[in-house]
Amino acid sequence: MDKVADFILTLLHAATNTHILHWQATRYGEHQALGEFYTGLPELIDQLTEALMGRYEMQPQFPLSYHGPNPDSLQELVTLKQYVEQERQGLPQDSEIQNLIDEIAQSIDSTIYKLKFLG
């Protein structure tokens, strides 16, 4: 289940990275969009992680690496979107797990929209 741990940790890092970018934002719309994203993402990650742990009776072993944010907030979210789309194929395909990933993907998509058109 290394892929699960990598996926969860990448999402946790995304919350941290978008929090950093939120502080660095120079436009109010960008600041607000990132604020909504980083505050909501941890709860979605928690739901996904607990569902995986309950379904598969496992505790992920997390790697000890961290990758800082892209300096451009829109690119950070676009890269995260691509990562989620690619990596979800290698994760458990149970409908409840994929539905939780869908919620995360929707949050990313909504934030990309806000950054592009309202930021």
Confidence band, pLDDT 50/70/90 cuts, at residue 119: confident
- Taking only the tens place, the pLDDT of each residue in 10-60 is 999 999 999 999 999 999 999 999 999 999 999 999 999 999 999 999 999
Domain count across the chain:
1
Q: What is the pTM of this model?
A: 0.95
> What's the CATH number where 82 sits?
1.20.1260
Look at residue 1 and tell me whether its pLDDT is greater than 80. no
Structural domain including 41 reads 2-117
Do residues 44 and 107 make contact, with C-beta atoms less than 8 angstroms apart?
A: yes
Q: Could you tell me which of 51, 37, 46 has the C-alpha nearest to residue 8?
A: 46
- Percentage, residues of the chain above pLDDT 70: 99
